[in-house]
Amino acid sequence: MSAAEEHRDIAGRFTDRVRGVPAGGWDDPAPCEGWVARDVVGHLVEWFPGFLRAGAGIDLPQGPKVADDPVAAWQVHCDGVQAVLDDPSCADRVLSNPHIGDIPLDAAISQFYTADVFMHTWDLARATGQDERLDQDRCAAMLEGMLAMEDAMRGSGHYGPRVEVPADADAQTRLLAFIGRDPR
């Protein structure tokens, strides 16, 4: 699956959760400490444009503020990312970052952003009482890749301490526990 197809699928599932937030649900507590549902969308909409601008010189379109309209803010942002991935002129572009070096743009979007959207789909679903199921194969593959980088990930401050779960837990439960979420 190409990075564009992957994003279309994963962001589409997140979009379903965004559109499915019940009336008044944007202020419901999220699994990320100190966050509410609106903050899950805000995180994705706010961190990635600067990362993309600094590393690849690409400016994403600006939508309304998440505080004002989280659904529209997400949709404008999501459509902008998809347009970058679908643009043939971006196929040979590179994202440069002092921490990760030079990476093909589509691979960087997949590894750092689309993976983040995937994991935060659970957070938004949990916060708002929606379907929390994630693709088990993708959970297993992500967990395998993250295990090799655990020290760096924990040191970044972006992940909480690992939550203990039974060894025979499914891939989703193990991934969530690894990134510091309590899947119970």
Architecture per CATH, 3-133:
Up-down Bundle (1.20)
Please give the pLDDT value at position 154.
60
Over residues 78-99, the pLDDT tens digits come to: 999 999 999 998 888 999 988 8
Over residues 53-83, the pLDDT tens digits come to: 999 999 999 999 999 999 999 999 999 999 9
Mean pLDDT to the nearest integer, 25-53: 95
Break the chain into its structural domains and give their ranges.
Answer: 3-133, 135-184
CA-CA-CA-CA dihedral for 24, 25, 30, 33, to nearest 10: -10
Q: What percent of the chain has pLDDT over 70?
A: 96
Categorize the per-residue pLDDT at 162 as very low, low, confident or very high, splitting at 50, 70 and 90: confident
| Distances 47 to 1, 40, 60, 110, 113 between C-alpha atoms, Å | 25, 11, 12, 15, 9
Name the burial class of residue 76, with classes exposed (0-12), middle (13-18) and buried (19+) by CB atoms within 10 angstroms of its CB.
Answer: middle
- Beta pairing, strands 101-104 & 94-97: antiparallel
Residue 120 pLDDT greater than 70, yes or no? yes
Q: Would you tell me the crossing angle of helices 115-128 and 37-56 to the nearest 10 degrees?
A: 170
